[in-house]
Chain A
Amino acid sequence: MEFLNHKLDNGLEVIAECNDRAYSAAIGFFVKTGSRDETEPLAGVSHFLEHMAFKGTAGRTVDQVNREFDAMGAHYNACTSEEQTVYYAAVLPECIDRVVELWTDLLRPSLREEDFETEKQVILEEIFLYRDMPPFGADDRCKELYFGDHPLGKSVLGTVDSITQMDAAAMRDYFGQKYGANRIVLVACGNVDFDHLLETAQRRCGDWTPGDDRISGQVFKPNQQFLAMPKESATQQYTMQLAPGPKVDDPLRYAAKVLATILGDETGSRMYWEFIDSGRAEHISFGHGEYDDTATFSTYLGCDPELADDNLQRLDELFRKARNEGVTKAELDQAKSKILSRVVLGAERPRDRLFGLGNEWILRHKYESIEDDLREVRAITLDQVNRVLADYPLTQNTTVTIGPVTDWSYRS
């Protein structure tokens, strides 16, 4: 396993973790733009643009694009979040050149008017699909309340109105500003030849112009509030919470991930025993999420409406107890075993490894090998985990709940 990186003159970076014994290679173009970079009337443009990239270029129609990916046997897709838009593919080593050639073409898309109007319907159908699922809206509302004026409070999908009113010209402007070479990292892992990849990137992307840098570091005070959104038609009650967590440059970030496993892992965690084993909830998850300039702990709970009020009180109690009494050595060891195993298993397939590699580079401009990861996890102490609990009181959060429940004693 060898890590290599290089920055082109225009600012585009190429990084790779090469393993010539891998059966496949994964490559991803990580573009540092997402909903937080959108200006007000263009809510959802990053995600819409991600769809439009597949619609082709001067030399390729949408049908050709789809056929080319399939003809390579590529396992490919793209995704958009608050901070990045990622275009990725896993292919057999002999197809790397073709897939890089294709992506570099698509990342300079035509954004044709006619395609724009057709794809607008697809985006709207995507919103309609989620809108029929009862948790819809609670997630965006929770972000909006928690982040207040900070741009991370914006919706990734946008709204039916913002999408309907958007035009192709505005998208082209947005593209011009946010898809500059300085905002793009080409990430590769698996069976890939770095020198050859770099040469291709130079030839294909060397003339891409730089654009704006992200404006980040906006100061904000995380809000704390409780909001219940009544939705009679839902059969379950869904609740989201956001609270502050250690940021990406904080040495406690690793301890934060271990804490998330102890409190909220899918199996064997405190939340598992309190809510799942007991049958009080259908689903609960808890995680530590990192952004450019902030970080959160987030909770998502789905349960029988009749149990919801009591469950939220129990959740507060779970957080309070952890903070007052700390977690135990046995819990720390159990969490470490799980994480260490997942780190190793998650590195077996290049396509699984790609995002860890790319995200770490985007967030910290750092490479961490699997061995580095394992070392960091092993080194975490009980004291560090308990310090996270002391420094970040999890009951001080924004909570948004949606579903049939109208009467709440929780936080009233």
Chain B
Amino acid sequence: MSETIHTCQLPGGMVLVAEEMPWLRSAAFTFLVPAGSVFEPKERAGLAGFTCEMMLRGAGDRDNRQLILDLDTLGVDRSESVGPTHIGFSGVALAERLPDVLSIYADLLRRPQLPEEQLEAGRQIMLQELSAVEDEPAQKSILELRRTFFADPWGRPHQGNEPGILAVTSDEIRRFWQNHYSPKGTILGVAGRFDWPTLREEVQRLFADWTPMETDLPAEVVSPSSVRHIPFESGQTHVTVGFETVPYRDENYFEAWGATGVLGGGMSSRLATEVREHRGLCYTVYAYSYTLRDKAGVLCYSGTSADRANETLEVMVDQLRRLREGVETEELDRLKSRIKSALVMQQESSSSRSSSIARDWYHLGRVRSMDEVSERLDRLSAASINAYLESHPPGDFTVVTLGPRELEVSLGVSES
């Protein structure tokens, strides 16, 4: 693998990071704008998502219809995501269309119309998205685990809450945009087929004169471990467990990643084997690392019939404890094959690379090249993971369950 990665910092602080993939016909982009839900006032939970919803309702001299029509005509497959720190605006199109697409996004980020007469339509969308979560208990349980695991505002679900969404005014949306849609902290990742000097020039033309705003990020805090049950009218109980791990930027990240992968990544992982394959307790079980910049958690999930929920939690916690005893070389080798294969396959997806390099820039201030990842993985051994596990044994579990009955959490899970 050999990659050509370019970067360019613009006067207002925005960073362009781009990876050439000339064998593709597409080009993809990811804007990460530091306007996520942690910046919302406590009594306006949902404001970040609401603002994002309003951003697509007209920009520059295009009204909402013209904006969507022009993006459609350019054949852009686009999406938006609302995270704790950033709003992501992503898309992919045929490579030759990229300059026109970026020029529309410059309007969208810098000159949104935020039409007051469409505020209520936007609010309806926000309220319905919020209600829809109540109809998806599996998704709700993992949102509740995050809310419990991280202290507010870091665990706040991006859907917000009803009082927050109902209270938002058009002025507040405009102010949130003015204060947070700023080049300082904005990252644009581009991957695919492009000519670097042309791309750089184009992005400079569109964004170099964007005026920065200063914003303060609250400190990231993990809440003390706790056990919480959310009563829910359902047949299944959703069992979630979280514990602290090291973030993406930590020097031990790959060791932690290896341990989490052995625990819950893939069908041959310990959780899939013990909870699903050997005992038939669930359809879905997984564990993954959810990383902020300074703090991170391993979040584990399984959903099972209410009368088997105690057993499921016991098996899960037992596997978390056993992880301290270390991982086997064979387990690690499988994990390395999976990640190396995934790395090669990323070469076929401009979208996946554009978001990876943008996220890398946020977490590391640079791009971890695929060669570097590959080389780091070669150095990863069962011994290095086990040394990590010895100094960072999984413990202080936060347990959140959602279902018809409270569980008997007599496992002393929060003592360890």
User: Which residues of A are at the interface with B, using a C-beta cutoff of 8 A?
Assistant: 21-24, 54, 62-63, 66-67, 69-75, 90-92, 95, 117-126, 128-129, 131-135, 233-236, 267-268, 272-273, 276-283, 302-304, 333-334, 337-338, 340-342, 344-345, 348-351
Which of B94, B233, B236, B267 has the most chain A CB atoms inside 10 A of its CB? B267
Note all chain B residues with C-beta closer than 8 A to A344: 25-26, 94
Beta-carbon contacts of B262-286 to A below 8 Å, as 1s and 0s?
0000111000110011111111100
Tell me which residues from 303 to 341 in chain B have a Cβ below 8 Å from any Cβ of chain A: 303-305, 330, 333-335, 337-341
Known: A63-B268, A63-B277, A133-B137. A350 touches B68 (CB 8 A): no
Chain A residues, Cβ within 8 Å of B122? 279
How many A-B pairs have beta carbons closer than 8 Å: the answer is 186
Having A337-B72, A345-B94, one finds 7 other A-B pairs with CB under 8 Å, namely A24-B341, A69-B267, A92-B341, A118-B278, A128-B236, A304-B127, A304-B131
In the complex, which residues of chain B have a beta carbon less than 8 angstroms from the beta carbon of A337?
72-75
A183–chain B nearest beta-carbon distance, Å: 26
Q: How far is the CB of A80 from chain B (nearest CB, A)?
A: 14
Q: For the complex formed, measure the closest distance between the CB of B268 and the CB atoms of chain A, giving whole angstroms.
A: 4
Closest residue of A by beta carbon distance from B134:
A235
How far is it, in angstroms, between the C-alpha of A125 and the C-alpha of B235 when the chains are bound? 10
Residues 86-104 of B contacting A (Cβ, < 8 Å): 92-94
Contact of B340 among A66, A73, A234, A340 (CB under 8 A): A73
Contacts of B121 in A (CB 8 A): 277-279
CB distance from B137 to the nearest CB of A (A): 5
Given A341-B93, A349-B349, A73–B342 Cβ distance below 8 Å? yes
Q: For A302, what are the chain B residues with a Cβ–Cβ distance below 8 Å?
A: 128, 132
A121's closest neighbor in chain B, by CB?
B280
- A282 contacts which chain B residues (CB < 8 A)? 125, 128-129, 131-132
A339 to chain B, nearest CB (A): 8
Q: What string of 1s and 0s marks CB contacts (under 8 Å) between B121-158 and chain A?
A: 11111011101101111100000000000000000000
Cα A333 to Cα B73 with chains together (Å): 8
- Do residues A338 and B72 form an inter-chain contact, with CB atoms below 8 A? yes
Minimum C-beta distance from A72 to chain B (A): 6
Which chain A residue has the least Cβ–Cβ distance from B232? A132
Q: Point out the residues of chain B lying under 8 angstroms from A277, CB to CB.
A: 57, 64, 118, 121
- Please tell me if the beta carbons of A70 and B131 are within 8 angstroms of each other in the complex: no
With a cutoff of 8 Å between Cβ atoms, the chain B residues found around residue A279 in the complex are 120-125, 128
Q: Chain B 40-52 against A: per-residue CB contact (8 Å), 1 yes, 0 no?
A: 0000000000000
9 A-B contacts, Cβ less than 8 Å apart? A24-B348, A54-B267, A123-B283, A124-B305, A125-B303, A132-B236, A268-B69, A273-B65, A344-B94
**The 6 A-B residue pairs with the shortest CB-CB distance in the complex, in nearest-first order:** A341-B75, A73-B341, A279-B124, A121-B280, A279-B121, A282-B128
**Residues of chain B with a CB closer than 8 A to A345's CB:** 25-26, 77, 92-94
Which of chain A's residues has its CB closest to B124's CB? A279
B73 to chain A: which residues have CB within 8 Å? 333-334, 337
Instruction: Specify which of B125, B235, B342, B347 is in contact with A75 (CB 8 Å cutoff).
Output: B342
Asked whether B71 lies within 8 Å of A267 as measured between CB atoms, the reply is yes
B337-357: CB near A (< 8 Å → 1, else 0) gives 111111011011110000000
CB distance from A24 to the nearest CB of B (A): 5
Asked if residues A348 and B337 are in contact (CB atoms below 8 Å), the reply is no
A24, A233, A281, A348: residue with the most chain B Cβ atoms closer than 10 Å? A348
Q: Let me know if B68 and A236 touch, CB within 8 A.
A: no
Residues of A within 8 A of B118 (CB): 277
Whether A121 and B128, one on each chain, are in contact in the complex, defined by CB atoms closer than 8 angstroms, is no
Decide if A129 touches B284 in the complex (CB within 8 Å). Answer: yes
Establish whether residues B278 and A22, one from each chain, have CB atoms under 8 Å apart when the complex forms: no
Known A133-B137, A279-B120; contact A66-B268, beta-carbon cutoff 8 A = yes
Chain B residues, Cβ within 8 Å of A117: 280
With most chain A CB atoms within 10 A of its CB, the pick from B233, B347, B348 is B348
Residue in contact with B273 in the complex, picked from A63, A268, A304, CB distance below 8 Å: A63
Chain A residues contacting B338 (CB-CB under 8 Å) are 70, 73
Max count, chain B CB within 10 A of own CB: residue among A66, A74, A129 = A129
**Contact between chains at A66 and B281 (CB < 8 Å):** no
Closest residue of A by beta carbon distance from B25:
A344
